[in-house]
Amino acid sequence: MTALTEGQYAGEFILSEADGDQSRDQLVVLSGQNLKAGAVIGRVGIGVGKADVPAVVGTGTGTMTALYAGPEVEKGSYVIKCKTAVANGGVFTVTTPSGKLLPDMTMTPGGGGTTTYRSRHINFSLTDNGDFVVNDTFTVVVTTGAPAVIGSGTGVISALSLGPDALPGEYTVECITAITNSGTFKVIAPDGDVVAVGTVVAGAGGTLVLANQRHLNLTITENGDFAVGDVYHVFVYNELVKKAVAWDPTTYDGRHKVAGVLYDNVDASLADNAGVAIARNAVVLESALQWATAITAAQKSGAKLDMLVLGIVAR
């Protein structure tokens, strides 16, 4: 006879919760996850990648330079569009990937003049090389992937990942000492602190590996000699939707922080799927909690302390 195992039912792990739906939040479970009722979850909130300086689409011949990220930078496309054309200038709207309108950018008129734009999302300069017209557009795409080096070196950066102290915004990885078939680099965090320094192992195709860092992990491979000032601009961006995944204290994109307990089974193996979580002010049955593979007893104890911060007591 085939043995059948009865799974855990929706909410079976709840001993008590606040009135109404005060304890519950709707959420989206990230594609690739297959979570059971009672799963302890985190929510992916940040990622690491790049943004390349775009050319204008339209009839103007102005250029964008000095692109860098602020602490509220989002993953996706920023649209900078001319709404008012002025000789040797113009007014541009700036729209975030989430659709928020940031303050307009007004170029200072003047032949070949450059105007700088500042925000907590993105920052850049525009130069009017030839008059812009209405609807001329720059699209800045913040995405995953490794940035190219800016400068004369031809090495590549790879294996980017986040440490537990990673900050949204822009990290710069800059060559500070030029060495034949090598080079020394410093990593500068968005708040201006130097958080790591390392030297490429000498030799053609030598590498620099910065692993287990508090902020940013990376590898640099030297394909052609670097020069002092060569730099990579690494964007740590905010996700537009903080999607739920199994809690994991070793992956520092937000899932290392407990965000609650999943109310019911959610199979998102093939695509994102909706769900509900107990996010605050509840008492749950400790023995009914579901954990990702390889979570240790010590890690579970730490997670239960984090749950207490949310008002979720495991008994």
| Pair 261, 314: CB distance under 8 Å | no
What element of type H or E holds 304? Answer: helix 297-309
State the Cα–Cα distance between residues 25 and 278, nearest whole angstrom. 7
Those residues with Cβ within 8 angstroms of residue 27's Cβ, 6 or more apart along the chain or in another chain: 43, 242, 243, 244, 274, 275, 276, 277
pTM above 0.95, yes or no: no
**DSSP conformational letter for 254:** S
Would the pLDDT of 4 be above 70? no
Would the pLDDT of 243 be above 70? yes
Would the pLDDT of 204 be above 80? no
Residue 130: what pLDDT?
Answer: 78
Give the tens place of pLDDT for each residue, 38-88: 999 999 999 999 999 999 999 988 899 999 999 999 999 999 999 999 888
Residue 54: what pLDDT?
Answer: 97
Q: Is 65 exposed, middle or buried (0-12, 13-18, 19+ CB in 10 A)?
A: exposed
> Tokens standing for 256?
């290392």
Give the tens place of pLDDT for each residue, 92-123: 999 999 999 999 999 887 656 789 999 999 99
State the Cα–Cα distance between residues 53 and 82, nearest whole angstrom. 17
- Domains in the chain with CATH codes: 14-45+240-314 (2.40.300.10), 53-143 (no CATH), 151-229 (no CATH)
Which of 298, 295, 297, 301 lies closest to 314, judged by CA? 301
Choose the weakest-confidence range: 4-13, 41-50, 95-104, 306-315.
4-13
**What backbone torsions phi and psi does residue 288 show, to the nearest 5 degrees?**
-95, 0
Would the pLDDT of 203 be above 70? no
What element of type H or E holds 299? Answer: helix 297-309
State the Cα–Cα distance between residues 284 and 39, nearest whole angstrom. 11
| Pair 289, 314: CB distance under 8 Å | yes
**DSSP conformational letter for 85:** E
Residue 303: what pLDDT?
Answer: 97
Mean pLDDT of 131-145: 95
| Pair 279, 260: CB distance under 8 Å | yes
Read out DSSP for 90-139?
EEEEEE-TTSPEEEEEEEPPSTT-EEEE--SSEEEEEE-SS---TT-EEE
> Tokens standing for 165?
């102290």
Per-residue confidence band for 3, with pLDDT thresholds at 50, 70 and 90: confident
Residue 313: what pLDDT?
Answer: 97
| Pair 41, 261: CB distance under 8 Å | yes
Mean pLDDT of 12-31: 96
Considering all CA atoms of the chain, what is the largest pairwise distance in Å, rounded to the nearest integer?
A: 86
Mean pLDDT of 264-280: 97
| Pair 253, 245: CB distance under 8 Å | no
Residue 228: what pLDDT?
Answer: 97
The CB density around residue 49, as the number of other CB atoms within 10 Å, is 17
The CB density around residue 180, as the number of other CB atoms within 10 Å, is 11
- Centroid of chain to Cα 215: 13
Give the tens place of pLDDT for each residue, 216-234: 999 999 888 899 999 999 9
